[in-house]
């Protein structure tokens, strides 16, 4: 390679690829996490983030000299001296490899990033009931909130440190005049030392990880139909499961999934049929009116109680139960705190629009809701 004057070739192309894929995949995953219906994209780039961390760990042992963990300067004394020297000597010589600050940041990215990746995979299986770990939902669903807290706080922690890292690079670029911004673009660093070298077998490992990442990303953005993302839950056929529920309740509205409400809510609904959301339902009414026999009422509510939120490990069921905090369930899902929290960002005008009309019209925004499916990918709020 052609050596630049007063520069050292520190970061070979494969090291730069790792760096930018880690940075970009984390950034995109964080952005996608802010949108409920982009969970599939969040997971897809999150998997790339995790794979690149695995690669970075391997690279830390077999990669070129400046990328190896053995060259990291993790002494607190060296870290202190690094900042003292920055203040005292604006144009001091900088090391060819990692300085103490970037050494610690590398360790933070690997440790915190690993926590994010592992909890993310567990959440996808335990909370969403999806992917290869979907089977964990049956026995560990009660831990979804704790996992989410760890995943969320670890993500914000890494974001904060990434911002600190970027600020540090900009200080080096514009105050210390080290051209640090371009080091991870060109591979050259304004420093003293020997040029880095990469063997062919190491570059082959890079291509293996890149190909795997592309394949996993491609199948994950589908969001439904492959082993990486497929849901353990299947569509419900309410007509087949309970024809009485489907025909009697479905005569006035589409059947709501029973797992959305706790048993206490279904009990309140059964006890208030004389004023069922403004309508009277009675076995004594004439045929053709809101008449449901006592026997049919019993069949319907036995079905609803059997499949209520109390008996389900679905995310919505668990979160509805947790939001009640031991209190008795409301008659309407829209009165439950969890529902209010999830829909707090949706404007009043949207609920009153001609396409939605009412907060209780879950079918307007959730595709396949009438089949008992509440997939994030199916959320589409009418404009």
CB crowding 118-141: b at 16 or more within 10 Å, else e: bbbbbbbbbbbbbbebbebbeebb
Count Cβ atoms below 10 Å from residue 278 Cβ, excluding itself. Answer: 5
**Non-local CB neighbours of 287 within 8 Å, separated by 6+ positions:** none
- On the question of pLDDT at 32 being above 80, the answer is yes
pLDDT exceeding 70 applies to what percent of the chain? 97
**Paired strand residues for 130:** 231
Q: What is the pLDDT of residue 207?
A: 85
Q: What is the pLDDT of residue 2?
A: 47
Give the mean model confidence (pLDDT) for residues 354-364: 93
pLDDT exceeding 90 applies to what percent of the chain? 62
| In the chain, domain spans | 8-220, 238-378
Spatial contact of 67 and 59, defined as CB atoms under 8 Å apart:
yes
Residue 366 DSSP SS3: strand
pLDDT per residue as tens digits for the range 142-197: 999 999 999 999 999 999 999 999 999 999 999 988 888 888 899 898 888 888 87
What is the C-alpha separation between 26 and 38, in angstroms, rounded? 15
Q: What is the pLDDT of residue 288?
A: 58
pLDDT per residue as tens digits for the range 103-146: 999 999 999 999 999 999 999 999 999 989 999 999 999 999 99
What is the C-alpha separation between 346 and 364, in angstroms, rounded? 13
pLDDT per residue as tens digits for the range 245-285: 999 998 888 999 999 999 999 999 999 988 888 888 888 76
Confidence band of 4 (pLDDT split at 50, 70, 90): low
- On the question of pLDDT at 329 being above 90, the answer is no
Total residue length of the chain: 383
Strands 188-189, 8-9: pairing is antiparallel
Q: What is the pLDDT of residue 320?
A: 95
- Structurally, at CATH architecture level, domain 8-220 sits in Up-down Bundle (1.20)
Tokens read off for 60? 């830390």
pLDDT per residue as tens digits for the range 52-101: 999 999 999 988 889 899 999 999 999 999 899 888 988 888 888 899 99
Q: What is the pLDDT of residue 193?
A: 82
């Amino acid at each position: 390679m052609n050596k630049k004057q007063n520069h050292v070739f520190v970061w070979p192309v494969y090291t730069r690829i790792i760096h930018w894929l880690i940075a970009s995949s984390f950034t995109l995953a964080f952005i996608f996490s802010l949108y409920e219906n982009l969970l599939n994209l969040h997971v897809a780039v999150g998997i790339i983030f995790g794979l690149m961390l695995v690669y970075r760990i391997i690279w830390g042992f077999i990669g070129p000299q400046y990328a190896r963990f053995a060259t990291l300067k993790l002494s607190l004394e060296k870290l202190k001296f690094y900042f003292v020297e920055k203040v005292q000597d604006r144009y001091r010589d900088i090391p060819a490899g990692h300085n103490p600050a970037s050494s610690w940041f590398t360790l933070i990215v690997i440790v915190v990033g690993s926590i994010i990746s592992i909890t993310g995979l567990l959440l996808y299986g335990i909370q969403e009931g999806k992917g290869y770990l979907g089977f964990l939902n049956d026995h560990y669903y009660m831990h979804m909130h704790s996992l989410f807290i760890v995943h969320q706080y670890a993500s914000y922690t890494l974001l904060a440190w990434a911002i600190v890292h970027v600020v540090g690079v900009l200080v080096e670029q514009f105050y210390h005049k080290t051209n640090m911004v371009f080091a991870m673009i060109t591979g050259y660093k304004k420093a003293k030392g020997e040029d880095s070298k990469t063997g062919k077998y190491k570059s082959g490992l890079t291509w293996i990880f890149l190909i795997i990442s592309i394949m996993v990303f491609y199948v994950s953005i589908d969001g439904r139909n492959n082993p990486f993302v497929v849901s353990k839950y299947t569509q419900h056929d309410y007509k087949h499961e309970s024809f009485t529920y489907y025909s009697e309740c479905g005569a006035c509205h589409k059947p709501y999934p029973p797992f959305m409400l706790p048993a206490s809510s279904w009990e309140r609904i059964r006890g208030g049929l004389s004023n069922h959301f403004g309508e009277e339902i009675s076995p004594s009414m004439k045929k053709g009116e809101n008449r449901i026999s006592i026997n049919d009422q019993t069949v319907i509510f036995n079905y609803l109680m059997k499949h209520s939120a109390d008996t389900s490990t679905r995310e919505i069921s668990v979160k509805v139960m947790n939001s009640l905090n031991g209190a008795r369930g409301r008659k309407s899902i829209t009165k439950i705190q969890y529902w209010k929290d999830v829909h707090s960002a949706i404007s009043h005008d949207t609920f009153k629009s001609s396409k939605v009309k009412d907060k209780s019209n879950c079918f307007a925004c959730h595709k396949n809701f009438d089949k008992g499916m509440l997939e994030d990918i199916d959320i589409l709020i009418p404009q």
